[in-house]
């Protein structure tokens, strides 16, 4: 199961969830023809040596921290070689018990924290192996308005779709904010949704064990009765499966729905229609999907209200030439704040490494926001940054 894994030449990726899912998605065309025959024996396909090896390579390429057992990715290889048959047998007998995930809290820009659950390397590999076989089943079933964690789709595509609808007269938006979405998925609903399209009950039960595996916080294991913690390779796919019900419902109603993971925008042609949509969508999410809508942050707004309409860091504007995409003021503020930090006199004591960090950060930011109209803003930022860097260099010259 783990033979010949060590020779993989995969490059590092920063986001294990997103990259693992997208990599799995790219194998869609190759696996699709095998879907019908593989479904009844899906577990065997998941544990097939080639699939498991690809899963390990993906986990290794993504790197990432150890889980509660402390095992590193490098240490997992010899462990898998020694225990592969034992692990496989336990899974087939329905006796495999996933380890609890390790709780990690990541600060959020708005001052809160994002709770992640880091599985062990062995469980990450198993989750990735499952994901690689479920993606070909679910990709054809997802709504066209779903953009998060899917192949050949991005946040840029999502905001461009909003722009396209705005050009058709859909200029009022319902912005829906879900409270702690990943941590509040209803397990019973999710399992029932899985059973609709996953015909191998053994796979459904294995996923259920992952959902119920628990979280370790401060040395204490806490039961997980709901949610699919961010940090696992399965979480993005499960999150899309869950909210696909919402996507399909509003597709049937003829309502433009653009979703990127748990960021949702519904579009309407009038203020009154958007208010009705806010009411009906909130009811559907809370009553049918048992989710919590943050009513303070969820609202109806004109897509041109730059202070109030923000989607994935973007906003929309319009002028005599038409409608265009722009960077939201809060995104500009965050960008400038980070540049200020990277170009501080304290950090610029060694100017060359500092300039390299600024270049890497700016390149990544521009790659994300590159579709937006921002020439004047960039010119202003360039002048401001040039002045700060010149002051850093001047300070170094003044040193004896």
pLDDT, tens digit, 9 for 90 and up, residues 214-252: 999 888 998 999 999 888 999 999 999 999 999 999 999
Domain presence at residue 256: yes
Nearest residue to 338 (alpha-carbon basis) of 320, 362, 318, 321:
362
Residues 247 and 348 in one domain: no
Band the pLDDT of 109: cuts 50, 70, 90. low
State the pLDDT confidence band at 36, using cuts at 50, 70 and 90: very low
| Residue 159 confidence (pLDDT) | 98
Q: Is the pLDDT of residue 393 over 80?
A: no
Question: Are residues 137 and 200 part of one domain?
Answer: yes
Q: Judge whether 2 lies within some domain.
A: no
Measured distance CA(250)–CA(239) in Å, rounded: 17
- The CATH number that applies at residue 293 is 3.30.70
Residue numbers of the domain that contains 168: 155-181+235-312
What pLDDT was estimated at residue 40? 64
Give the pairing type, strands 263-268 and 299-302.
Answer: unpaired
Q: Give me the mean pLDDT over the 181-193 stretch.
A: 97
**151, 290, 309, 332 from 365: Cα distances, Å:** 21, 36, 20, 10
The pLDDT value given to residue 219: 86
Query: Rounded to whole angstroms, how far apart are CA atoms 309 and 302?
Result: 7
Reported confidence tier of residue 352, pLDDT bands at 50, 70, 90: confident
Determine, yes or no, domain membership for 9.
Answer: no
Specify whether the CB–CB gap between 148 and 240 falls below 8 A: yes
305 and 339 inside one domain: no
The whole-number average pLDDT for the span 138-159 is: 96
Asked whether residue 319 is domain-assigned, the answer is no
CA angle 359, 149, 144 (to 5 degrees): 120
pLDDT at 12 over 80: no
pTM comes to 0.84
| Band of pLDDT at residue 22, cut at 50, 70 and 90 | low
Res 307 pLDDT > 80:
yes
Instruction: Give the number of other Cβ atoms within 10 Å of residue 145's Cβ.
Output: 23
> Is residue 169 domain-shared with residue 294, that is, in the same domain?
yes
With cut-offs at 50, 70 and 90, classify the pLDDT of residue 389: confident
Residue after which a domain boundary falls, among 265, 288, 312? 312
Predicted pLDDT of residue 11: 37
pLDDT above 90 for 349: no
> Is the pLDDT reported for residue 5 higher than 60?
no
- Does residue 105 lie within any of the structural domains? yes
**What is the three-state SS of the chain?**
CCCCCCCCCCCCCCCHHHHHHHHHHHCHHHHHCCHHHHHHHHHHHHHCHHHHHHHHHHHHHHCCCCCCCCCCHHHHHHHHHHHHHHHHHHHHCCCCCCCCEEEEEEECCCCCEEEEEECCHHHHHHHHHHHHHHHHHHHHHCCCCECCCCCCCCHHHHHHHHHHHHHCCCCEEEEEEECCCHHHCEHHHHHHHHHHHCCCHHHHHHHHHHHCCCEEECCEEECCCECCCECECCHHHHHHHHHHHHHHHHHHCCCCEEEECCEEEEEECCHHHHHHHHHHHHHHHHHHCCCCECCCCCEEEECCCCCCCCECCEEEEEECCEEEEEECHHHHHHHHHHHHHHCCCCHHHCHHHHHHHHHHHHHHHHHHHCCCCCHHHHHHHHHHHHHHHHHHHHHHHHCC
Please name the residues in contact with 396: beta carbons below 8 A apart, sequence gap of 6 or more: 348, 349, 351
Q: Looking at the structure, do residues 344 and 301 belong to the same domain, yes or no?
A: no
Q: Which two tokens stand for residue 304?
A: 């041109």
Same-domain pairing of 202 and 301: no
* Among 298, 16, 25, 254, residue whose Cα is nearest residue 135: 25
277/338 same-domain check = no
Residue 395 is predicted with a pLDDT of: 64
Mean pLDDT lowest among 26-35, 92-101, 190-199, 329-338:
26-35
Within this chain, do residues 239 and 349 fall inside the same structural domain, yes or no? no
pLDDT confidence tier of residue 115, bands split at 50, 70 and 90: confident
pLDDT at 4 over 80: no
Furthest C-alpha separation in the chain: 76
pLDDT at 201: 96
Residue 209 has pLDDT above 50, yes or no: yes
Phi-psi sector, 226: left (phi>0), alpha (psi -120 to 50), beta: beta
- Based on the domain organization, do 133 and 42 belong to the same domain? yes
- For the segment 56-67, what is each residue's pLDDT rounded down to a tens digit? 999 999 988 899
pLDDT of residue 171: 98
Mean pLDDT check: name the lowest of 1-15, 157-171, 249-263, 321-335: 1-15
Does residue 129 sit in the same domain as residue 166? no
Q: What is the mean pLDDT of residues 100-105?
A: 91
- What's the structural domain count of the chain? 3
pLDDT at 6 exceeding the cut of 50: no
How confident is the prediction for the chain on average, in pLDDT? 88
- Among 284, 312, 340, where does a domain finish? 312
What confidence score (pLDDT) does residue 31 get? 45
Phi and psi torsions of 224, nearest 5°: -110, 105
Question: Is residue 121 domain-resident?
Answer: yes
Residue 223 lies in a domain: no
Residue 120 maps to a domain: yes
pLDDT over threshold 80, residue 13:
no
| Confidence band of 1 (pLDDT split at 50, 70, 90) | very low
Give the pLDDT of residue 14.
39
Q: Are residues 290 and 335 in the same domain?
A: no
């Amino acid at each position: 199961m783990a033979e010949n894994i060590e020779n993989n030449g995969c490059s590092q990726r920063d986001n294990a969830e997103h990259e693992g899912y997208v990599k799995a998605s790219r194998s869609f065309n190759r696996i699709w023809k095998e879907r019908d025959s593989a479904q009844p024996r899906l577990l065997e396909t998941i544990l097939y040596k080639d699939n498991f090896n690809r899963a390990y390579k993906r986990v290794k390429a993504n790197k990432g921290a150890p889980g509660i057992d402390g095992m590193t990715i490098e240490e997992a290889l010899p462990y898998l070689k020694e225990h592969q048959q034992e692990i496989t047998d336990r899974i087939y007998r329905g006796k495999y018990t996933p380890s609890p995930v390790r709780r990690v809290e990541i600060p959020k820009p708005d001052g809160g924290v994002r709770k992640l659950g880091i599985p062990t390397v062995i469980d990450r590999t198993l989750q990735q192996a499952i994901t690689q076989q479920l993606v070909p089943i679910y990709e054809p079933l997802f709504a066209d308005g779903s953009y998060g964690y899917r192949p050949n789709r991005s946040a840029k595509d999502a905001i461009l779709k909003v722009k396209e609808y705005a050009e058709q007269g859909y200029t009022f938006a319902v912005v829906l904010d879900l409270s702690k979405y990943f941590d509040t998925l209803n397990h019973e609903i999710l399992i029932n949704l899985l059973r609709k399209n996953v015909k191998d009950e053994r796979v459904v039960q294995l996923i259920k064990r992952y959902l119920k595996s628990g979280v370790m916080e401060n040395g204490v294991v806490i039961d997980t009765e709901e949610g699919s913690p961010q940090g696992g390779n399965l979480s993005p796919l499960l999150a899309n499966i869950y909210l696909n019900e919402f996507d399909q419902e509003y597709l049937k109603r003829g309502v433009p729905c653009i979703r990127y993971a748990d960021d949702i925008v519904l579009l309407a042609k009038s203020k009154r229609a958007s208010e009705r949509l806010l009411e009906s969508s909130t009811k559907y999410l809370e009553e049918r999907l048992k989710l919590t809508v943050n009513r303070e942050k969820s609202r109806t707004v004109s897509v041109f209200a730059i202070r109030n309409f923000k989607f994935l860091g973007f906003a929309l504007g319009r002028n005599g030439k038409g409608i265009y995409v722009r960077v939201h003021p809060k995104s500009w503020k965050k960008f400038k704040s980070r540049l200020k930090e990277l170009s501080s006199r304290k950090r610029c004591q060694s100017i060359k490494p500092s300039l390299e960090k600024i270049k890497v950060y700016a390149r990544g930011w521009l790659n994300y926001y590159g579709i937006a109209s921002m020439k004047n803003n960039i010119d202003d930022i360039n002048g401001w940054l040039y002045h700060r860097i010149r002051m850093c260099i001047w300070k170094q010259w003044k040193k004896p």
